[in-house]
Structure 1
């Protein structure tokens, strides 16, 4: 399968194996993407131009965290378990999240409502989040978010937040390194929907994804 911002129907969500194979392939390719700025002396950013099969360009952030800053268990508890709820606590623009459906222990559909200052209208992103945890050393955890179109199920539509529909796809991986540090790597592609110019979104994307390092500070609060 190909990871893109194209929405999937709930009935067409692939198996964990297919999703994770695509996720691994994407993350491995990020090392060859164009290098961007480094933020906060710690977060490196990369990007890849929109390819024919993509709906939007891709962006990547990579950071390495020592154990006193973030442990594997602490990061996985925030990224691998109820990630949408935890994001709401650290991303001010998210004002509401709802679990639409629990498909399995590793697949859950969430809808996230973003509220912005006028004149930007609220945005809604509905995704299926798929997780994989490998506890064999070196441990690694992967979280994939894929946009979902709920219209085939009227009951699920009732649970979806209201606003301009945006779409994003993302792959995140936390990986234990030999020295005990944790690498956090995330690649994402998105569109906010509506009339926001693409160039405006793209020029600020690297800075936005660099800010989510706040997850790593949870253990120190």
Structure 2
């Protein structure tokens, strides 16, 4: 089998301009081809990192970066990397009439398999489904220390959409725009705001194994939308992440949790530094979530998570500040201490470069100014199936 997986224009770090989102009153005739286009692109790409077909050689596209462990997770977490060159991206852009700046796109992947049980060190299928497919934003807000504000800015009614893709029938679609604000190194580094279009769907019950996917695509100029909240705050520094998450039941009964992401936190931090940091922290979502849900079970006595309501938007009247590059790598505000596989407690300084999130670990470029409209300009692509 060929290792070639065709790259598309939609599930890219450069994102989609707000004007290419479905209209607020979009019906099935507009929404179905839109979500189908995203699935056509996302599914083969993420499947190449952990192929369902054992004879497939597409995994050669990904480079192993080792395996990690933590006391909060009974399962180890494998880390993989794929670098998509600027030349490859230029080819995609030229084919689809996209004009934007091109940097290589570094994707970090984490892969883990968990016992299907509501107990310490793991989670049940129902907990995964409830936490990530049904309550994604609230769950992320609950267990990710660096998420300080969240807002579901827009939602489309996807009732009745069913799509045949990658040999499976998909339904239970959800399509929203989520805005999230992250602290990445106060007081030296400014908070980042990430507006993303988020698609989720699941394999139709009774047609195959249990599986669902979540695809997040940047909408860098979402501040121009009348639906925007966090994105249009005067101190907002807009950043980018694209991610694909696949959670499914394996034949041995375990729950496989696969996530791939590429990102750009903008600001003063060089992209190459943040790409390196991304590989070092993307796996930490796993013990963060499993540690949080274990405590949540004890607190609520429930067999599925009880996520809190999203926090209110950050203060839009916050004082405008200019971000300065840190003089030394450890001279930044940091996240929590994490115990890594060698048993050494390491202060999580990498959070200042790429804070941990479930589907959105950030990286950065050298330009300080927010890039909303400028980044989206000329990136219009055809989303018809």
Using the size of structure 1 for normalisation, the TM-score is 0.91
**2:189 corresponds to:** 120
User: Unaligned 5+ residue runs, structure 2?
Assistant: 1-7, 22-32, 50-58, 70-74, 90-101, 159-173, 296-385
In structure 2, the residue matched to 1:166 is 239
1:179 CA drift (Å): 1.3
TM superposition outliers: structure 1 runs of 4+ over 4 Å: none
Equivalent residue for 1:28?
Answer: 47
Aligned residues: 220
Question: How far 1:218 moved relative to its partner?
Answer: 4.9
SS of the equivalent of 1:80 reads helix
Whether the 8 Å contact between 1:66 and 1:180 is mirrored in structure 2 is: yes
Deviation at 1:158, TM superposition (A): 4.3
Q: Does the 8 Å CA contact 2:180/2:230 hold for their aligned counterparts?
A: no
1:42 match: secondary structure? strand
Specify which structure has the higher proportion of strand.
Answer: 1
Whether the 8 Å contact between 2:197 and 2:218 is mirrored in structure 1 is yes
Q: 5+ residue gaps in structure 1?
A: none
Partner of 1:130 in structure 2?
199
User: Which residue of 1 is the match for residue 144 of structure 2?
Assistant: 91
Provide the secondary structure at the position in 1 that maps to 2:84: coil
Mean Cα deviation higher: 96-105 or 51-60: 51-60
CA distance, structure 2, for counterparts of residue 182 and residue 202 of structure 1: 28
Q: Is the 8 A contact 1:166 1:191 kept in 2?
A: yes
| Aligned with 1:110 (options 178, 190, 208) | 178
Give the alignment's TM-score, normalised by structure 2.
Answer: 0.54
Which residue, 58, 68, 73 being the options, matches 1:39?
Answer: 68
2:82 aligns with 48
Structure 1 counterpart of 2:123, from 46, 59, 70: 70
> Contact 1:113–1:123 at 8 Å: present in 2 too?
yes
| Distance of 2:270 and 2:179 partners within structure 1 | 24
Instruction: Look up the match of 2:284.
Output: 211
Q: Please tell me whether Structure 1 or Structure 2 has the larger radius of gyration of its CA atoms.
A: 2
Tell me how far 1:194 sits from its aligned partner: 0.8
